[in-house]
Protein backbone atom coordinates (compact mmCIF):
# COMPACT_ATOMS: atom_id res chain seq x y z
CA UNK A 1 0.00 0.00 0.00
CA UNK A 2 2.89 2.38 0.84
CA UNK A 3 4.47 1.99 -2.62
CA UNK A 4 1.18 2.33 -4.45
CA UNK A 5 -0.31 5.25 -2.53
CA UNK A 6 2.72 7.32 -1.51
CA UNK A 7 5.29 6.56 -4.22
CA UNK A 8 2.83 6.06 -7.09
CA UNK A 9 4.60 3.04 -8.57
CA UNK A 10 3.03 1.21 -11.50
CA UNK A 11 1.55 -2.27 -11.04
CA UNK A 12 4.49 -3.94 -12.81
CA UNK A 13 6.96 -2.23 -10.45
CA UNK A 14 4.88 -3.23 -7.43
CA UNK A 15 4.87 -6.88 -8.53
CA UNK A 16 8.65 -6.78 -9.13
CA UNK A 17 9.34 -5.28 -5.68
CA UNK A 18 7.09 -7.87 -4.05
CA UNK A 19 8.93 -10.73 -5.78
CA UNK A 20 12.30 -9.26 -4.83
CA UNK A 21 11.40 -8.88 -1.14
CA UNK A 22 9.96 -12.40 -1.09
CA UNK A 23 13.29 -13.61 -2.48
CA UNK A 24 15.17 -11.79 0.31
CA UNK A 25 12.79 -13.24 2.90
CA UNK A 26 13.45 -16.79 1.67
CA UNK A 27 17.21 -16.22 1.98
CA UNK A 28 16.90 -14.75 5.48
CA UNK A 29 14.61 -17.55 6.64
CA UNK A 30 17.47 -20.02 6.18
CA UNK A 31 19.49 -17.83 8.57
CA UNK A 32 16.66 -17.65 11.11
CA UNK A 33 16.27 -13.96 10.32
CA UNK A 34 13.51 -11.73 8.96
CA UNK A 35 13.48 -8.47 7.02
CA UNK A 36 13.10 -6.59 10.31
CA UNK A 37 15.79 -8.50 12.23
CA UNK A 38 18.48 -8.80 9.52
CA UNK A 39 21.75 -6.92 9.96
CA UNK A 40 24.13 -5.47 7.36
CA UNK A 41 26.12 -8.71 7.08
CA UNK A 42 22.94 -10.62 6.26
CA UNK A 43 21.93 -8.20 3.54
CA UNK A 44 25.43 -8.03 2.04
CA UNK A 45 25.58 -11.83 2.03
CA UNK A 46 22.26 -11.90 0.19
CA UNK A 47 23.38 -9.46 -2.51
CA UNK A 48 26.75 -11.20 -2.94
CA UNK A 49 24.99 -14.54 -3.14
CA UNK A 50 22.78 -13.24 -5.94
CA UNK A 51 25.90 -12.41 -7.95
CA UNK A 52 27.40 -15.86 -7.30
CA UNK A 53 24.14 -17.45 -8.47
CA UNK A 54 24.64 -15.74 -11.82
CA UNK A 55 21.94 -13.11 -11.50
CA UNK A 56 22.50 -10.18 -13.84
CA UNK A 57 23.84 -6.95 -12.41
CA UNK A 58 20.53 -5.28 -13.31
CA UNK A 59 18.57 -7.88 -11.33
CA UNK A 60 20.84 -7.48 -8.30
CA UNK A 61 20.57 -3.69 -8.57
CA UNK A 62 16.78 -3.91 -8.64
CA UNK A 63 16.76 -6.17 -5.57
CA UNK A 64 19.07 -3.73 -3.82
CA UNK A 65 16.63 -0.95 -4.68
CA UNK A 66 13.72 -2.98 -3.26
CA UNK A 67 15.69 -3.45 -0.03
CA UNK A 68 16.41 0.27 0.27
CA UNK A 69 12.77 1.17 -0.31
CA UNK A 70 11.74 -1.28 2.41
CA UNK A 71 14.36 0.02 4.84
CA UNK A 72 13.24 3.60 4.23
CA UNK A 73 9.69 2.49 4.93
CA UNK A 74 10.88 1.00 8.24
CA UNK A 75 12.65 4.25 9.05
CA UNK A 76 9.38 6.09 8.51
CA UNK A 77 7.73 3.67 10.93
CA UNK A 78 10.25 4.56 13.64
CA UNK A 79 12.83 1.73 13.21
CA UNK A 80 16.52 2.62 13.51
CA UNK A 81 17.90 1.45 10.17
CA UNK A 82 20.25 4.35 9.37
CA UNK A 83 23.34 2.14 9.78
CA UNK A 84 21.90 -0.51 7.47
CA UNK A 85 21.22 2.05 4.76
CA UNK A 86 24.83 3.24 4.99
CA UNK A 87 26.46 -0.20 5.07
CA UNK A 88 24.88 -1.96 2.08
CA UNK A 89 26.37 -0.89 -1.24
CA UNK A 90 24.67 -0.55 -4.58
CA UNK A 91 26.11 -2.86 -7.28
CA UNK A 92 27.22 -1.11 -10.45
CA UNK A 93 24.86 -1.85 -13.36
CA UNK A 94 26.38 -3.46 -16.43
CA UNK A 95 26.14 -1.65 -19.74
CA UNK A 96 24.48 -4.03 -22.17
CA UNK A 97 23.47 -3.19 -25.72
CA UNK A 98 19.92 -4.07 -26.75
CA UNK A 99 19.07 -6.66 -29.38
CA UNK A 100 18.38 -4.95 -32.69
CA UNK A 101 16.85 -6.23 -35.93
CA UNK A 102 17.78 -4.55 -39.19
CA UNK A 103 15.05 -3.09 -41.38
CA UNK A 104 14.78 -6.16 -43.60
CA UNK A 105 14.36 -8.36 -40.52
CA UNK A 106 11.63 -6.10 -39.15
CA UNK A 107 9.80 -6.39 -42.47
CA UNK A 108 10.23 -10.16 -42.27
CA UNK A 109 8.73 -10.21 -38.77
CA UNK A 110 5.75 -8.06 -39.74
CA UNK A 111 5.10 -10.33 -42.72
CA UNK A 112 5.00 -13.45 -40.50
CA UNK A 113 1.27 -13.52 -39.52
CA UNK A 114 -0.86 -15.99 -41.48
CA UNK A 115 -3.15 -14.22 -43.94
CA UNK A 116 -5.76 -16.96 -43.44
CA UNK A 117 -5.96 -16.43 -39.67
CA UNK A 118 -8.93 -14.55 -38.22
CA UNK A 119 -6.38 -12.60 -36.15
CA UNK A 120 -4.23 -11.64 -39.14
CA UNK A 121 -5.29 -7.97 -39.22
CA UNK A 122 -4.91 -7.62 -35.45
CA UNK A 123 -1.46 -9.18 -35.30
CA UNK A 124 -0.13 -7.13 -38.20
CA UNK A 125 -1.50 -3.97 -36.58
CA UNK A 126 0.23 -4.84 -33.31
CA UNK A 127 3.61 -5.52 -34.94
CA UNK A 128 3.38 -2.42 -37.13
CA UNK A 129 2.47 -0.25 -34.14
CA UNK A 130 5.21 -1.59 -31.86
CA UNK A 131 7.79 -0.76 -34.52
CA UNK A 132 6.21 2.52 -35.64
CA UNK A 133 5.76 4.04 -32.20
CA UNK A 134 8.23 2.30 -29.87
CA UNK A 135 5.60 1.54 -27.24
CA UNK A 136 6.25 -0.51 -24.14
CA UNK A 137 4.22 -3.73 -23.91
CA UNK A 138 2.04 -2.35 -21.11
CA UNK A 139 1.46 0.89 -23.03
CA UNK A 140 0.19 -0.95 -26.09
CA UNK A 141 -2.08 -3.19 -24.01
CA UNK A 142 -3.53 -0.16 -22.19
CA UNK A 143 -4.40 1.74 -25.38
CA UNK A 144 -8.06 2.58 -25.81
CA UNK A 145 -9.76 2.98 -29.16
CA UNK A 146 -10.12 6.72 -28.54
CA UNK A 147 -6.35 7.03 -27.96
CA UNK A 148 -5.65 6.35 -31.66
CA UNK A 149 -6.32 9.43 -33.79
CA UNK A 150 -6.19 7.87 -37.24
CA UNK A 151 -7.02 11.13 -39.01
CA UNK A 152 -3.96 12.86 -37.55
CA UNK A 153 -1.86 9.67 -37.31
CA UNK A 154 -0.97 10.01 -33.62
CA UNK A 155 -1.44 8.10 -30.38
CA UNK A 156 -2.15 9.35 -26.89
CA UNK A 157 0.00 7.19 -24.61
CA UNK A 158 0.07 6.95 -20.82
CA UNK A 159 3.57 5.86 -19.85
CA UNK A 160 5.40 5.22 -16.60
CA UNK A 161 4.24 7.38 -13.74
CA UNK A 162 1.04 8.13 -15.68
CA UNK A 163 2.97 10.60 -17.85
CA UNK A 164 1.10 11.37 -21.06
CA UNK A 165 2.82 11.77 -24.39
CA UNK A 166 1.74 12.03 -28.03
CA UNK A 167 3.46 9.63 -30.43
CA UNK A 168 3.10 9.53 -34.23
CA UNK A 169 2.30 6.14 -35.72
CA UNK A 170 3.18 6.46 -39.40
CA UNK A 171 1.26 5.48 -42.53
CA UNK A 172 1.84 1.70 -42.41
CA UNK A 173 0.71 1.39 -38.78
CA UNK A 174 -2.26 3.70 -39.33
CA UNK A 175 -3.49 1.69 -42.31
CA UNK A 176 -2.97 -1.58 -40.40
CA UNK A 177 -5.04 -0.29 -37.46
CA UNK A 178 -7.78 0.91 -39.81
CA UNK A 179 -7.96 -2.55 -41.38
CA UNK A 180 -8.01 -4.19 -37.93
CA UNK A 181 -10.82 -1.93 -36.69
CA UNK A 182 -12.85 -2.61 -39.82
CA UNK A 183 -12.24 -6.32 -40.44
CA UNK A 184 -11.17 -7.96 -37.18
CA UNK A 185 -12.04 -6.14 -33.96
CA UNK A 186 -15.84 -6.22 -34.46
CA UNK A 187 -15.63 -10.02 -34.67
CA UNK A 188 -13.70 -10.25 -31.39
CA UNK A 189 -15.70 -7.88 -29.20
CA UNK A 190 -18.43 -9.73 -27.29
CA UNK A 191 -19.25 -7.15 -24.63
CA UNK A 192 -18.62 -3.38 -24.64
CA UNK A 193 -14.85 -2.90 -24.44
CA UNK A 194 -12.87 0.31 -24.85
CA UNK A 195 -9.43 -1.30 -25.23
CA UNK A 196 -7.96 -1.07 -28.73
CA UNK A 197 -6.51 -4.57 -28.90
CA UNK A 198 -8.72 -7.53 -28.01
CA UNK A 199 -7.83 -11.18 -27.42
CA UNK A 200 -9.35 -14.14 -29.22
CA UNK A 201 -11.74 -14.59 -26.27
CA UNK A 202 -13.01 -11.01 -26.44
CA UNK A 203 -11.06 -9.76 -23.42
CA UNK A 204 -8.45 -6.97 -23.41
CA UNK A 205 -5.09 -8.24 -24.64
CA UNK A 206 -2.66 -8.52 -21.70
CA UNK A 207 1.14 -8.25 -21.54
CA UNK A 208 1.75 -11.99 -21.37
CA UNK A 209 -0.38 -12.66 -24.45
CA UNK A 210 1.41 -9.83 -26.27
CA UNK A 211 4.85 -11.24 -25.44
CA UNK A 212 3.76 -14.70 -26.58
CA UNK A 213 2.42 -13.25 -29.83
CA UNK A 214 5.65 -11.43 -30.69
CA UNK A 215 7.77 -14.40 -29.64
CA UNK A 216 5.69 -16.71 -31.84
CA UNK A 217 6.28 -14.60 -34.94
CA UNK A 218 9.94 -14.20 -34.04
CA UNK A 219 10.31 -17.99 -34.04
CA UNK A 220 8.27 -18.34 -37.21
CA UNK A 221 10.52 -15.82 -38.94
CA UNK A 222 13.67 -17.54 -37.67
CA UNK A 223 15.06 -14.21 -36.52
CA UNK A 224 15.86 -14.65 -32.84
CA UNK A 225 15.43 -17.44 -30.30
CA UNK A 226 14.08 -14.86 -27.86
CA UNK A 227 12.24 -11.86 -29.25
CA UNK A 228 9.90 -9.58 -27.35
CA UNK A 229 7.91 -6.37 -27.79
CA UNK A 230 10.88 -4.55 -26.28
CA UNK A 231 13.07 -5.65 -29.20
CA UNK A 232 10.80 -3.68 -31.53
CA UNK A 233 11.04 -0.72 -29.15
CA UNK A 234 14.83 -0.96 -29.46
CA UNK A 235 14.52 -1.16 -33.26
CA UNK A 236 12.29 1.92 -33.29
CA UNK A 237 14.85 3.98 -31.35
CA UNK A 238 18.00 2.78 -33.08
CA UNK A 239 16.54 3.08 -36.59
CA UNK A 240 15.38 6.64 -35.86
CA UNK A 241 18.83 7.62 -34.62
CA UNK A 242 20.42 5.78 -37.53
CA UNK A 243 18.30 7.87 -39.87
CA UNK A 244 19.52 11.09 -38.28
CA UNK A 245 16.84 11.82 -35.65
CA UNK A 246 17.78 14.06 -32.73
CA UNK A 247 18.46 12.23 -29.46
CA UNK A 248 16.13 14.54 -27.51
CA UNK A 249 13.29 13.79 -29.93
CA UNK A 250 13.81 10.05 -29.53
CA UNK A 251 13.85 10.50 -25.74
CA UNK A 252 10.47 12.24 -25.92
CA UNK A 253 8.99 9.58 -28.21
CA UNK A 254 10.16 6.75 -25.94
CA UNK A 255 8.91 8.48 -22.80
CA UNK A 256 12.31 8.36 -21.07
CA UNK A 257 12.56 10.74 -18.12
CA UNK A 258 16.39 10.69 -18.29
CA UNK A 259 18.26 11.14 -21.56
CA UNK A 260 21.00 8.84 -20.24
CA UNK A 261 18.57 5.96 -20.76
CA UNK A 262 18.18 6.95 -24.41
CA UNK A 263 21.91 7.35 -25.01
CA UNK A 264 22.47 3.59 -25.10
CA UNK A 265 21.11 3.64 -28.65
CA UNK A 266 23.90 5.92 -29.80
CA UNK A 267 26.27 2.95 -29.40
CA UNK A 268 24.25 0.60 -31.58
CA UNK A 269 24.60 1.88 -35.11
CA UNK A 270 28.38 1.61 -35.42
CA UNK A 271 28.25 1.23 -39.22
CA UNK A 272 26.55 4.63 -39.58
CA UNK A 273 29.08 6.30 -37.28
CA UNK A 274 31.95 4.81 -39.29
CA UNK A 275 30.46 6.00 -42.58
CA UNK A 276 29.98 9.53 -41.22
CA UNK A 277 33.59 9.60 -40.03
CA UNK A 278 34.86 8.39 -43.41
CA UNK A 279 32.73 10.95 -45.23
CA UNK A 280 33.47 14.05 -43.20
CA UNK A 281 36.82 13.63 -41.42
CA UNK A 282 39.58 15.60 -43.22
CA UNK A 283 42.11 12.75 -42.87
CA UNK A 284 39.83 9.90 -43.87
pLDDT of 161 higher than 50: yes
pLDDT, tens digit (0-9, with 9 covering 90-100), for 266-275: 766 655 556 6
Give the model's pLDDT for residue 196: 97
Q: Which residues lie closer than 8 Å to 239 by C-beta, 6 or more apart?
A: 103, 106
Give the model's pLDDT for residue 201: 93
Give the model's pLDDT for residue 85: 79
Q: Taking the model in full, what pTM does it have?
A: 0.66
Which DSSP string corresponds to 16-63? Answer: HHHHHHHHHHHHHHTTT--TTT--HHHHHHHHHHHHHTT--HHHHHHH
pLDDT bin (cut points 50, 70, 90) of residue 81 is confident
Weakest-pLDDT range from 88-102, 115-129, 167-181: 88-102
Q: Would you give the DSSP letter of residue 98?
A: P
pLDDT, tens digit (0-9, with 9 covering 90-100), for 227-254: 889 999 999 999 998 888 888 999 999 9
Give the model's pLDDT for residue 4: 45
Average pLDDT of the chain to the nearest whole number: 85
Give the model's pLDDT for residue 1: 46
What number is the average pLDDT over the span 156-177? 92
What number is the average pLDDT over the span 37-58? 83
Could you tell me the maximum CA-CA distance found in the chain, to the nearest angstrom?
68
Burial class of residue 53, CB neighbours in 10 A (0-12, 13-18, 19+) = exposed
Known catalytic residues are: 136, 160, 230, 233, 256, 265
pLDDT, tens digit (0-9, with 9 covering 90-100), for 131-150: 999 999 999 999 999 999 99
Weakest-pLDDT range from 20-34, 84-98, 99-113: 84-98
What number is the average pLDDT over the span 80-108? 78
Give the model's pLDDT for residue 257: 84
Give the model's pLDDT for residue 87: 81
End-to-end CA distance of the chain: 60
Mean pLDDT highest for which of 51-55, 197-201, 275-279? 197-201
pLDDT of 7 higher than 60: no
Rounded to whole angstroms, how far apart are CA atoms 171 and 169?
A: 7
Q: Would you give the DSSP letter of residue 117?
A: S
pLDDT, tens digit (0-9, with 9 covering 90-100), for 173-232: 999 999 999 999 999 998 889 999 999 999 999 999 999 999 999 999 887 667 889 999
What number is the average pLDDT over the span 87-112? 80
Query: What SS3 state is found at 195?
Result: strand
Q: Which domains does the chain have, with CATH numbers?
A: 2-87 (1.10.150), 103-275 (1.10.443.10)
Which DSSP string corresponds to 135-170? Answer: --HHHHHH-BGGGEETTTTEEEEE-GGG-EEEEE-H
Cα 238 to Cα 241, 272, 283, distances in angstroms:
5, 11, 28
pLDDT of 40 higher than 90: no
Rounded to whole angstroms, how far apart are CA atoms 217 and 227?
A: 9
Give the model's pLDDT for residue 116: 94
Are the CB atoms for 100 and 140 separated by under 8 Å? Answer: no
Give the model's pLDDT for residue 119: 97
Amino acid sequence: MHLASERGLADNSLHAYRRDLENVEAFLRDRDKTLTSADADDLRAYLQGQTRLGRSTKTVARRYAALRVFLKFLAGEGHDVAALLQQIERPKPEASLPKILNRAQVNQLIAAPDTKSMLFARDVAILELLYASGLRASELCDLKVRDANLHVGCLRVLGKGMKERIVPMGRAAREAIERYLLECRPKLVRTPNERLFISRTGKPLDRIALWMLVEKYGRKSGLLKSISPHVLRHCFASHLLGGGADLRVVQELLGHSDIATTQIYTHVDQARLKSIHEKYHPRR
